[in-house]
Structures are given as structure tokens and as C-alpha cells.
Structure 1
């Protein structure tokens, strides 16, 4: 049965704890039911409830942190309204709760919450938009293992202090995030119904998008300081568009194991120096437009590649287009006036542009092994080449 005590007959919070019908450790522990009590005021500040009967929280209105993991069915379809009285909470985690279907509207009174985690709550389908929109101090928001949750709160833009946001294993279908002015960490993984992601106008430094099996399009615009971009194992991803993004000089986007990805468009990505786009079996088009810092480019093992475009990429020094099944030399390469190393092994090339030497005056290394050339292909001769 639930503990249902009346704190008015007790002098201190510890008296209430001592009368709960389960063992509570008075030394805080991240793995067991335990508490932290302010030794001077005797007020309970942190309560971790792990795999135990859920006590009434109305007796502990000075709580700063409440974590409930595995309630053994003690919590019903709705949280008690007393949750709205925990006005000093800064951390709230609800995990492994079988019956809970929604959050109460009274959550709007938890205005001090900095971290909110909802995890492995199989029946949760509703987060009240207006109420949760009042939590404007929120810094961390985790939505994990919520298979009945189909939308994020429409008031998400109220979270202008939000730093970290995770969406994993939900039923969300469309994700449109715009203008979260403090968000630097975003993780979107294993959302089986998610089809579209749009991210705009944020200072994101870390993005991880992976294993979203129905994802078709992914658009990124106007990011201020991108350091890590992972786009991995999204089975149906068809197009990736990135525009107006400032990168860290050490940023190397990881775009791997997206078997249906056929279009990648990159525009105005300042600071990006290195890029590898390898082993995408359906890639047909990739374009680079105004990537002025881009230095090394590797586009290998992409057997369906048909179109590659370079516009205003003046710093490219190294380009590897090996094993892309190219039958004709991409004319856009001739725009790369700083190119020194060009690797195009194991393609289907049979001719080279006659203007190659004039258009690529700095070219020194040219590797064309395993193509379909016959006879003397260097007409006129390439005097600048030091290595063939």
C-alpha cells in the first residue's frame, strides 16, 4: 500500500521517512531508495525512489530533487495534484512507470525545474502544452522510451534556457525545432515513425541523428558553432540539406550507413575544413556551395554518384573520388584552382578534359589507376604533375 502520512504530527521530515513502509537510506545513493536531508533545517531536499512503493510527496514540499524509478504500479494513470506543490524542485525524473498516461496541468507550478526526464513510460501520450510551457528555466529535457508520445510540446520555444534535448524511442513523426537560443546538445535516435527533421536558428554544437527508420528528409539551417554532426543508420533517409552553418575547424561530419540517401546539399558552411562522404550506396548528387575553408574532401565508394558540383570552394587542396563508378570527368572539378591532389581510382573514366592543365594550375598528384583509359590520354602534356 502507499504510504499516506500526515506531516503535521511530525517535527521533522526525517520522522516521516522513518515511518515509511520500506527501507530508506539516509545517505544519498544513485542506485537505491535514499534521501538527502539538510542537517541544519532537517528538511528533505533530495528523494530517490527506486523500485519501491511510492510515498506521498505532499509531505516534502521543500524537495529540490525527486527521482522515481520503477514504481511497481503504485502510480495510476495520472500523477496526484500534489506534484504541483513541489515548487522548489530543480530535478524531476520519472522512469519505468507502467500506468502513467499524462502529466498533470499542475506541472506549470514547477517553475524552478532545471532538468526533466521522462523515461520508459509506455502509456504516456500527453504532455500538457500550456502547462509545461511555464517551465522556462528548463536546461535539460529528456524524452526517452515513450512509444505513445506522438508530438513534442507546441510551447517548446518557451524553453530559451534549454541546453540539452534528447528524443529517443518515441512515436513523433515530425520534428521542427526553431530558435532555441541556448540549445547546444541534440540527440534524436531510434524514433521509428519520425519522417522529417528541420533544425533552424540555434547555437547547436552537438547533433546526433541515428537509427530513425522512417526518416526521409533532414534539413539544417543557421547554426552558429557546430562541432559534432552524426547522421548514422537512418534506413530511408533520402535527402540531407545543410545551409548557413558555422563549424569548428575540427568538425568532421559523420554521414554513414544511410543506404537510401541520394542527395546531399551543403551551402555556406564556414569553418569546415575536412569532409568524408563514403560508402553511400544510393548517393547520386552532392553539391558544395560556398564552403570557403574546405581543404580535404573524400567522396569514395559511392557507386551511384552522377552529379558533383563545386561553387566557391577556393581552398580545396585534396579530392578523392575513388570507386564512384564515374564514366565522365566532373567538369565542376575544373573550378578547384587550389587543387594539388586528385585521386580518381577505380572509376569508368576513358577521357580527361583537354583544359585540365590550364584549369588546375596547382595540380601535382593525379591518380587515375583502374579506369578505362587507352593510349596517350595526356594531350596536351601535363607538365605540372609530379606524381601519376
Structure 2
């Protein structure tokens, strides 16, 4: 294709050059004629006419062929991709479809082009499309009756065009006899304009009118599209919905009215609807029609509105998902106009980011299937589930960022609870067995509280009736299901021995507890379970615990402390990721490096005052192993006293050997001097003794 276009350009260029040469020849002949003007007027006139006619006869056919060649559309699809019966011509600056579309094309993608007028000629006179994508063009005119003969067209995407201009003509584009999915989003349409696109759409099931300027849904808006099942009106400016606007839509199951300006719904009566999204409006009130008819609604999103109280839901419902987050809820009254609302099918309830100060446990009595409860970011001061029959199926409870001071669970309550999020509260004094009463708990998030940890309880005899429960602390031992425990930012001062005995923790976060004093036996019992240990930002100067005893430990974070040395590993380590950033480490012991070398994959060492020549084993580990140091650019060491830090990648053993040679010479010289002095003294002593012996013999 490229070669043909190049050849055609070359041909046009040759024709133009030839035309210019002919023009020059004609000009030359004219000059010749002019030079012989005097005395030859008649002959000159005749010759000029003959020359002009000859040139015209030569130029005219070539000029016509050149114009025709330039006007002729490309013979082949310009960079379009053809896959079986689908043609993709997206983003090619086209004004129309290529003329040589495959005869049996079913899908044509002309999106992101420059189509302005949508006519039969624009579509290369094809009518057998099943799927037509004209998304993101400049269409402002549609040929009346264009789609009449497209009896196989199922999907039509006209989004992001200028159809508001066409709608001003008040002309229907229909009939859309077979179209099932129609996208008219982002076309600047306002109230009433959609009627010209929907008037004759008997098969339409999926309609998108997102991101337009519609302010009202009238009674007759969807009369010509009675088969609609899904309507999306997201991001308009809808203020009013006329009574009966959706009554003709017996098959409607999904309705998206999010991000509009609806203020209230007082008589919701769409019994067959399964999904309703009313988020991001200005709703202050939601009430269903009082009826004994069963509503089929499964999903209701009322988030980001202005409701001061809980919505009045249908008394007969099978609702599974309810989101009322980011409103102004101050109460959770669920009583309808005539009867108590039962939410026995509800599985997900989100009431986060409201103004709730309390939630009575009776509120949950009808929620026999609830699995996820989110009441984070409220003002709740106490939370209590005293009985086994309440929330027996709940798996996740999020109470983070409230004002909790009281938290109580009855014996064997919340039997299915696996994740409890209590981050960012004021929890200080709890019953020390609070979490022991949760038989299935796996994740416990207690960051940003003031919890104190009890030591492992000693076994007491059954006859010890005077045994007193520990006060002011919470026990985390003997919780056989607990795997993830987050205790950062709790102002922890001590971590007692056996704090997590008989609790198979996989992750333990103790970071951001400045001054934490850890007993050397505090992690006993975690030898075979602990994988993640987080101890960052605790101002730890010496690590008392023996990390080598934690055989399953793979990820350790000791960053931003005051460590000057690491504990010696006496066993082969299993640690794969180690963060030692922002400490006071000068040297790393050989045994530690040797123990880490086999398993370590990632090491963070930046911002430590390392010595270059006292860490040759460490340098070898970094430079000659597969260990990755993500912060290698910030890992420096000091080569000589009072010298500037050097990046560890620039250090080699020769530098350190060179530094050590003068010392060896001095040692050698001193040794020779000492030996010489000793030998001299011995020789002198021997001579003195011999002379003494000789004098004695003479006497």
C-alpha cells in the first residue's frame, strides 16, 4: 500500500514538472515570436494561436487525469486493521470509511476520527453492520433514515460527538429496528433531545446518556424504547423525575442516576429494579412506596448525599448491598411508614463518614446474613454485641477512626468474625479477654490506640477463686486463629515475655512505639509462624530478641531506629527482605552476613555511618551476590577517618589493602628492632657471665 501511494506521488510530481517545462517552452516560443514582431504581425499572430492550441491540447488531458487522481479515494484501507469480518480504523484522521471495505464487514470501528456528516456515503454504502463504533468524532448531522435498512445493527456507539446540533433539527434518526445497545454519552444533549434518538428503538436494551445536560426525565422519554433493561444517566444535571417516567419499562433492571442534582425520592416503586445508583446527588430523603409487593432490588447506592437519617426501605425486600456512606446520618432508624423493615438478605452495609454517635445492637437484629459492616469515620463512643444471635455471619467489621472507648463482646458472639479494624480510636482500658472471645478472628488492626499488652497468663488451679484478672492490659496469647496483628502507634512502653504465646501470628506490627522495651522472650511461641516483623521508628538502640530463632521469618523492618549493631545470627537465616535504613550501624558481624547470605534477596541499608574497610564481607555480599539493594544510591561508607562518605559501589578491597600497608611496615620494623635489642641483651649477658666464670676459675 505504501509503495502504491509513493508511486502515485512520484507520478503527480513528474506531471507537474512536465507541465512546468511545457509552460517554459510556450513562454520561450512567445519570446521568439515577439522578437520578430516587426514586419511579421499576421504570421506571428497565427503562430501564437497554433502554439497555444497545441499546448492546450497536450495539457488538458494530463490536467484532468491529475485532478482525478488527487480526488480519487485511496484504493486500499489506510492503515486499517482487518480481522476476519471486523475492520478497525480508529484514530486515522478519516472523514469517512474507506471505499474498499470488505463486502461482508460486520464491525466497523471509526472512533477518534474526523467524521462530521454521517451518511450512507460516509459508511461506503454498507448496511450489513452488526457493530458500528463512531465514538469521538465531530458528527453533527445524520442522514434521515440512515439506519432504516441496517436490520442487523445491534451495537451503535455515537458517544463524544456533537449530536446536540443535529437534535435542533427535531428529526428522528430511526427507526433503529435491531439496535440493542446505544451510547449517546457526552453529546451536549439537554432535556427532550434524547427523544429523537429513542423514538423508534423497539429492541433497545442498553442505553447510555452519561455526561450530557439533561435536567428532567419526562413521562414520555422512553416510550419508544419499551425493551430497555439498563439506563445510565450518570453525570447530568437532573433535578426532576416526572411521575411514571419509568412505568412503561417493565424489563428495566439497572438504573444509574449518580452524579446529578436529585434532592429526594418519596415514592420509589420500581419493583423489578435490581440495581439503583443514586450516589453523588443532593438527596435529603429516600422513601419507598408502602406496599406488600416484593421488591427485587439487590444493590442500592445512596452514598455522597445529604441524608440526615437512615433511608426508609421497602418492607418486603431482598436487598444485599446498601451504601449510605458520606451522608449526614445521625440515626439508624429503619422503621417504615407502617411496618418494621427486615434486612435479612443484606450482606454489605457501609455507613462510613457520617455523624453517628451510637449504634444500638438491636439495629442489627434483622441482619441475619450480613458479612461486611463498615461504620468507620463516625463519632461512635461505644460498641457492643452481647448476644450470640446478633451478626453471627459477619466476617469484617470496620470501626476505625471513631471515638471508641468501650468495646464489649459477649461469650461466643461474632463467631464468624475474621477481620476487626479498630485503627484510630481512644481504646485504653479493655477487658483483657476481649479478643479471646472471637473464635475466628484472623486480622486485628489496633493502630493508633493506647493498648497495653498483658504477659501470657499462668495456669491457675480450679480452686483458686481469688484469682484477679489483669487490669489495664489486653491479652494476645492463646488466640489460635489470629494471624495478623497491627499494634503500631499505641505508645507501647514494654513488650512482656510470652506476649503472643500460643497465637500463630504471621504478621506483627510494633512500629512507631518510641522507647519500646522488648523482653528477650517476648516473641517466644512465634518460632514457626512469624513471617513479617515490623519494628521501625521505635528508637531501639539494641535488639534483645534472637531473630535467628524465628525460623519462618522472611520480612523484617528495623528502619529508623538507633541500632549500632545487629544481634549475631547463630543459625542459617530465612530472612528474604531486611530494612536497616536510618540507623547507626558501623559494622556488620561476619556471622550475621554469613547467615543472611543464603536467603537474603532484598536489603535496604541507606543512611547508616558504615565503615568501608571493616565491612568487606558486607561489600562482597552486595557486589557479588543476587541481593538487591533498592536504595543503593544512598548507601555510603567512610573510607578513612574524617573523610567524605563514599558510595559502597565505588569501594574495593585494594583501597583497604593500600590503606593497611604502612601499618604492616611499622609493625615489621618495630618487630625487628625489638628482636635485635633482645638478642643484643642476651649476647651481652652471656659475655658477662663467661668473664665472671673465668675469674672464679683463676682464684
Structure 1 length as normaliser, TM-score? 0.58
2:403 alignment partner in structure 1:
214
241, 248, 261: which one aligns with 1:72? 261
Deviation at 1:174, TM superposition (A): 1.7
| Equivalent-residue separation in structure 1 for 2:476 and 2:193 (angstroms) | 58
2:238 alignment partner in structure 1:
52
2:316 alignment partner in structure 1:
134
CA change 1:31–1:292 in 2 (3 A) is same
Secondary structure of the corresponding residue to residue 43 of structure 1: coil
| Equivalent-residue separation in structure 2 for 1:80 and 1:296 (angstroms) | 49
507, 510, 513: which one aligns with 1:302? 513
Deviation at 1:165, TM superposition (A): 1.4
Q: Is the 8 A contact 1:179 1:202 kept in 2?
A: no
Name the structure with the higher strand share.
1
Secondary structure of the corresponding residue to residue 66 of structure 1: strand
Deviation at 1:58, TM superposition (A): 2.0
Deviation at 1:224, TM superposition (A): 2.2
2:446 alignment partner in structure 1:
255
Are residues 1:272 and 2:482 paired? yes
Q: Is the 8 A contact 2:285 2:311 kept in 1?
A: no
Q: Is the 8 A contact 1:51 1:72 kept in 2?
A: yes
| Equivalent-residue separation in structure 1 for 2:315 and 2:518 (angstroms) | 46
Runs of 5+ unmatched residues, structure 2: 1-189, 199-205, 453-472, 563-570, 574-594, 596-699
| Equivalent-residue separation in structure 1 for 2:383 and 2:479 (angstroms) | 19
1:236 alignment partner in structure 2:
426
Deviation at 1:166, TM superposition (A): 0.9
1:246 alignment partner in structure 2:
440
Cα deviation 1:194-234 (Å, max 9, x = unaligned): 22234664344444443x342334456434262x54433x2
CA change 1:325–1:202 in 2 (3 A) is farther
| Equivalent-residue separation in structure 1 for 2:495 and 2:333 (angstroms) | 32
2:369 alignment partner in structure 1:
182
Which structure ranks higher in relative contact order (CA pairs < 8 Å, sequence separation ≥ 6)?
Answer: 1
CA change 1:277–1:107 in 2 (3 A) is farther
CA change 1:165–1:286 in 2 (3 A) is farther
Q: Is the 8 A contact 2:266 2:287 kept in 1?
A: no
CA change 1:268–1:179 in 2 (3 A) is farther
- Alignment of structure 1 residues 40-119 onto 2, 5 Å: 42-49=226-233, 50-61=236-247, 62=250, 63-72=252-261, 75=263, 79-81=265-267, 83=268, 85-98=269-282, 100-104=284-288, 106=290, 109=293, 111-119=295-303
Runs of 5+ unmatched residues, structure 1: 1-19, 327-332, 348-362, 366-386
1:160 alignment partner in structure 2:
344
2:381 alignment partner in structure 1:
195
CA change 1:108–1:157 in 2 (3 A) is closer
| Equivalent-residue separation in structure 2 for 1:159 and 1:149 (angstroms) | 20
504, 521, 534: which one aligns with 1:293? 504
Deviation at 1:139, TM superposition (A): 0.8
Name the structure with the higher helix share.
2
- Alignment of structure 1 residues 361-372 onto 2, 5 Å: none
Which structure is larger by alpha-carbon Rg, 1 or 2? Answer: 2
Are residues 1:28 and 2:239 paired? no
Are residues 1:172 and 2:359 paired? no
| Equivalent-residue separation in structure 2 for 1:259 and 1:225 (angstroms) | 21
**Corresponding pairs, count:** 315
* Cα RMSD after superposing both structures: 5.3
Deviation at 1:126, TM superposition (A): 4.8
| Equivalent-residue separation in structure 2 for 1:132 and 1:239 (angstroms) | 41
Q: Is the 8 A contact 1:206 1:229 kept in 2?
A: yes
Deviation at 1:114, TM superposition (A): 0.7
| Equivalent-residue separation in structure 2 for 1:184 and 1:295 (angstroms) | 24
